[in-house]
Structure formats: C-alpha cells, structure tokens
Amino acid sequence: MGKIKVLDDITIEKIAAGEVIERPSSIVKELVENSIDANSDEITIEIENGGKTYIRVTDNGDGIAEEDIELAFRRHSTSKLSTIEDLYKIKSLGFRGEALASICHVARVEIMTKTDDVVAGVHGILEEGELISKEMIGCPKGTTMIVRDLFYNLPVRRKFLKSDLAEANSISNIVYRMALGNPSISFKFIKDKKTVIKTSKNNNLKSHIYSILGKEFSNNLIELNTTDNGIKVYGYISNNKLYRGNRSHQYLYINGRHVNNFSISNTIEKYYKSIIPLNRFPCFILFIEVDPSQIDVNIHPTKEEVKFSDPAEILSTLEKGLEYSLFPSLSIPKMNIGEKKEKQDEENLPLLFQAYEDNLSDEIKEKDIIFKDLTIDTKYRAEEDILASNSFFSREVEEEFPKGIESEVDVTNVEDSSPITNKNIFLKAKPIGVIFSTYIIVEIEDGNKILLIDQHAAHERIIYEKYLEEYKNENIAQQQLLAAEIIELTNMEMNIFLENKEIFNKLGFDVEEFGNNAVAIRAVPLVFGKPRLKELFFDILDNTNSIKTNYDMKLEKIMKMACTKAIKSGDSIGKVEIISLLKQLSEANNPYSCPHGRPTILEISKKDIEKAFLRIT
C-alpha cells in the first residue's frame, strides 16, 4: 500500500493559516491593513494578555456588505485583484485574500460591520472557518473585528507564543509603524484597558512623529524631499546628534507599505559613517513613491520585503536627497557653560584616576599626591602609604619614575594550566612614560624588551573584571544619584524595559517606572564613575533585544558594552596612577586583552629595535 495521501481540508487550512498568522501581532497587522485599505481615518486597536485572548480592531471605513460576509472569509477571496495583471500594479496593502480566512481557522472571530448605504449592520460569528451565526444589528459605519483565543485549536502553536509582555511589545511595534506611516489616520491603541498610543489625523508628518516618538526625537530630524526619474523620496532623517544602538528606529515605506530593505538602509548608513559614532545607526522615517509596476511586493508571506525592477534608480534618487539635506544641516553639539546638568550630559566619561591637590599645603604638595583610584573601592591615601603597603612597588618615588617594579608573586607558584593568569608579566618593570596620552611604555630590563600598554584597553579590562566579579557575587556596589535621572520612553521602549527590568537590577541600576512611559534612575553601579547616564541607558536598552543568546551571555555582552561607555580614552595619567594600573592589570585573570578582544599589551624586543637601526643583521 502506498504511503502518500492527500491531506484533509481542515489540516490543509490550518497549515496554510500557520504560514500567515505566526503570532498575535500578525493578526493586528492584517486587520489594520484591511482598515486602511477600506479608507478609514479612525482606527482603534485593543488587546488583552498580549493579544493571546483578545484582539479588537475597529475602524470607520467602507464596511462589508451583508452578501459579502461569508465570502470575505474564504481563502483567496479579495476585492483588490481581478486578474494576474493586477499583481503588477498593486496599490493596496492587502491583496492575496488569505488573512481573514487564516485568522478564522486558528481563532474565534466575531465581526460587526455596516456600509454607508444601509440602515442596519451585520453581526457574524465564525469558528473553524465557518460562519455559524449572522444577524442584523444597529452599529455605526465601518467594521469591528474581534479575535479571541488565538490557537485554541492548535495547542502545539500556542505553547510557542512568548510572554504577554513580549507579544504586546510586538503589537506595539506594528502599531507604531502603521501610525507613523499614515499621518492622515487617527490611531488609538489600548492595552489591557489602558490607552498607550493616541494620534490625531492632522496629515502633518512632523507633528505626527512628535506625538509618537517624542520631542527630543522630533527636534533632531532633518527634512528630506527629492524627486527624480519619476521617483519621489520624502520624510525625515536624523542629524548627527540622534542615533541608536540598533535599527529599530528606521522606518521605511514604499507606496505606503512598511518594508525592510537592507540596500536602502546600508546606503543611508554609509553617509553617516564619519559623523556618528561607530556601531551606531541613524534614525529615519522615509517614504518612497514609485510606479507600482516597478516593484514586486509578492515575494514574502509578511509582505515586508519588495523587489525593484531598477534598484539603482531608487538608490540614486535617495543619495541625491541625502547629499542635499544631510551635510548642510550638521551642527556642532553645544556646551552650555554654567548649567551643571547640561555639562554632565556633554562631558566625557571619568578619568582613570582623579587627583586632589587644590586645597593642600605647599609642603604636602611637594611630598605627596592624594588621589582617588576609580577602579578600586578604597579611601584616599598618600602615595607613601600606598607604596609602603605593597612590596610590589619600588620606593624610589622621588625620581620621575621608579627604577623597577618587583613582583610580589612567586613565579614558581604559577600553575602551568593557567598560562593566561601569569602574574609575573611586569617582573623587573620600569615605567618610562606615556605617548599620545594613551600608550604606556614599560621597559623590562631583564628581558631586553619594552612593552606598549594601551591604558584604555587595560583599564577597561580591570573595570570589566571587577564589575563581573561583583555581579557573580550579587554584590554590585551602587552610587546613589543626588537627583533621579528621568528618561522619557516610547511605549515600545517602555515595554522592552519592563521585559528586561531584571537585567538592569542585576547590573546594579536602581531604576523604576515613573509615570506614563518614563523611568527614574536613582542609582548606578559605582564602577561607572560618572557615566553619560541617558546614553548608557539607551545603549543597554537597544542591545537587550538584539542579543539572541542565553540569558547570562546577554548580561555579559551588556557589561562589556557598559564598561566601554564608562571609560575615557586619552586621559593624562601620572607615575602613581601608572604603577597602580600595572599592578591591577597583572592581577587580572586575563591581562592580555580587553573585554572586546583587542590586545592590551604589545611587546617589542631589543633585538628587533637593533635590527631596525641596522646595528645587527
């Protein structure tokens, strides 16, 4: 007997539905797109439990005629296509006729709809793809779709849904995209009985952006508007002060449809390479209008990717707009002298060490340097006390640099199984000086070599290991802020924060919700010194969603990033600071590289130098 058989209709429908409906946000996307196609200018989205148990989308659009209700929920039934040729001139967001059929096969669906030319509306209930009841009711013009108990008949799919907060955040992301792309439509988003997004239909894109993404985002945008070869590109791009740690604030619309296109994103990012920091991404809300016959939107189940018949023309028009708009609008960040808060926002991260000499007598200044080492939690001590407490240091401190640094580590006790923790790397070391305010030169007399040490990378390693040790021991030292730092977030960012709040707590932050879509930071890890708090918070927030590895690896990557933000490169440091830095580096578990893998130490032998000078051949 043969093994191949034809699947029954119910199984076929559920398999097909699974390709279109992946999670609650897929339903919201399809229903809102239908509302937009129905000429609505008011759309309300309401969800409960992340959309798993309840989704309601209400619009004031054209509505569905009574005789079309049952047909509308059949697969491949649509009002937007008639022939194959129509695929090449699509202007609507939906066109395949799969969404409603897919939804009613994996959830319980209720519809209330009314067209403008009838007195009463229609109320219908569907289960397993079948219209089980229909009655006439009074209702306003438009359509309301209610979707309950997603995947109630597919438990294997239901168990793969994420937490309520994660699913709600995915829906928020969809609503943000739809709202930003349709300034002529009023959107209202209600989550668990609470309104989180509400926009007006003023058709003013800039004010629309302001109401959705906030004042700071809106104030740092540059308008772009160009037309060439029948292609129109318009919208807003960020200036050199606005950037993020990922591409979550890059919104691109082709003929009104939100899409992802890496060629366009990469083209835009190319223009920002020299004007924003490395590993940061520009923000933009851009619209491209092109002849529908020049694009193919039917290449992906989610319709979020498109193909251009001539992508070079699109990119050429975009580049012209960027050249005209971006560079003339760049500005130098302002420093407001006298305003302490602004100064703190603009200043770089803390010095490796801070000297305290202003209020000392001349006699003390000649003998001692009182300093605070920001890498260790100690009291301020005079140089002589520090040197006396450690046999690691030479006592000849009156000279510009000590003649040598004797290691307190017994080399014979270093285990061969731990070569990376070799504590005698600075045995008989003599610091010579610092070049370019970054690289420490150390002479190893017995070894006939010199070491070049990147003070930034070395200190980053010290900070990171201290921070990691505190985290593992669940004892991260905090410093309380004199005044809480209030940071405003978008609803989507707030959801990301709530989903990852435990990460911030474990990293040593004292941060809590502060009103609607805002957080208050009251304490930060002591190891950070005085960080650029707002920038650091957003960097961590942006990276929580981009890290797809396990939980501990997520924390470790964030800590590496945070240490980079907490250290300032190029500080001018003195002899005592150098000695302390070398000691701490020699005690590190891995003194040879920074947390990101860059080397901290380079070795140059006397023999190599003599070869370069042709003293030997």
Residue 145, Cβ density class (10 Å: 0-12 exposed, 13-18 middle, ≥19 buried): buried
Which residues, 6 or more positions from 249, have their beta carbon under 8 angstroms from its beta carbon?
Answer: 213, 217, 281, 283, 284
% of the chain surpassing 70 pLDDT: 71
Instruction: Over range 53-74, report the average pLDDT.
Output: 90
How many angstroms separate the CA atoms of 123 and 121, rounded?
Answer: 7
Joined together, the tokens standing for residue 341 give 């808060």
As a whole number, mean pLDDT of residues 154-177 equals 90
Low-confidence winner among 297-301, 419-423, 439-443 (lowest mean pLDDT):
419-423
Q: Does the pLDDT at position 595 exceed 80? A: no
Alpha-carbon separation of residue 116 from 38, 50, 64, 138, 139 (angstroms): 12, 33, 10, 13, 11
Residue 97 has a pLDDT of: 61
> Where along the chain do its domains lie?
9-199, 206-329, 335-617
Asked if pLDDT for residue 486 goes beyond 60, the answer is yes
What percentage of the chain has pLDDT greater than the value 90? Answer: 25
Among the listed ranges 108-122, 140-154, 368-382, which one has the minimum average pLDDT value?
368-382
Could you say which architecture CATH assigns to the domain 9-199? 2-Layer Sandwich (3.30)
Q: Which helix (H) or strand (E) holds 228?
A: strand 221-228
Cα radius of gyration rounded to whole Å, the chain: 31
Over 60: is that where the pLDDT of 507 sits?
Answer: yes
- Flag whether pLDDT at 285 surpasses 80: yes
* Residue 250 phi, psi dihedral angles, 5° rounding: -115, 110
Lowest average pLDDT, out of 11-20, 99-108, 391-400, goes to: 391-400
**Same topology between domain 9-199 and domain 206-329:** no
Res 366: pLDDT: 40
CATH of domain 206-329: 3.30.230.10
**Residue 9: per-residue pLDDT:** 59
State the burial class of residue 215 (Cβ atoms within 10 Å of its Cβ: 0-12, 13-18, 19+).
exposed
| Each residue's pLDDT tens digit, 385-440 | 433 333 333 333 334 444 444 433 333 333 333 333 445 667 778 888 888 888 88
Q: How confident is the model at residue 287 (pLDDT cuts 50, 70, 90)?
A: very high
Query: Of 381-395, 454-468, 542-556, which one has max mean pLDDT?
Result: 454-468
pLDDT for 283: 94
Mean pLDDT throughout 163-188? Answer: 92
**Residue in 218, 231, 320, 223 with CA at minimum distance from that of residue 267:** 320
